[in-house]
Amino acid sequence: MDNLAQTMQGIPLEYYLWLSVILFSIGVMGVLLRRNIIIVFMCIELMLNSVNLLLAAFGAYRDDTNGQVFVFFVMAVSAAEVAVGLAILVMIYRNTKSVDIDELSKLKW
């Protein structure tokens, strides 16, 4: 435990902030860049994970367990979301024979 306290003095909280911001921006960039639905979905997972990391980091630095409990609930919701989302994706592929996200532009008009 003392070892850990030294660790946390060595790594400022800002580092976790920057890491999470970079990962979140990469996720946003992937959502904007790719047309494959599966990769867009994975980029959303990446964004969720960066937020989870930041929640856990804030919780650990403030010695507060609530942050990690929230990470658990975010994980639970994202697992449910992935199950339903991949089912929708399979159905889309079955109907359109494509995973191109620009095929689904009917809501645009």
Partner 1 sequence: MTVNIFYALSVVAVLSALMVVFTKKPVNSVLFLIVTLFCIAGHYILLNAQFLAAVHVIVYAGAIMVLFLYVIMMLNLTEVLQVNKPDLLRIAAVVSGGILLIVLVGSLKGLDTVASGGVDSTQSGLIERLGYMLYRDYLLPFELSSILFLTAMVGAVMIAKSDEKIIN
Residue 32 vs 107, nearer CB to partner 1: 32
| 105 contributes a contact to partner 1 by CB under 8 A | no
Give CA–CA dist 93/77, Å, rounded.
24
Among 7, 105, 108, 109, the residue binding partner 1 under the rule CB under 8 A is 7
How far apart CA 37 and CA 46 sit, in angstroms, is 14
CB-based contacts of 81-89 (< 8 A; 24+ apart in sequence): 82/41, 82/45, 85/41, 86/41, 89/37, 89/38, 89/41
Task: Classify the phi-psi angles of 90: left when phi > 0, otherwise alpha if psi is within -120 to 50, otherwise beta.
Answer: alpha
- If one asks whether residue 91 binds partner 1 (CB under 8 A), the answer comes out as yes
Binding-site size for partner 1 (CB under 8 A) equals 81
Closest approach, Cβ 107 to partner 1, in A, equals 18
Here the tokens at position 35 are 């047309």
Output the smallest distance, CB 64 to partner 1, in A: 6
Scan residues 31-90 and list those touching partner 1 (CB under 8 A): 32-36, 38-39, 41-43, 45-46, 49, 52-53, 56-69, 71-73, 75-84, 86-90
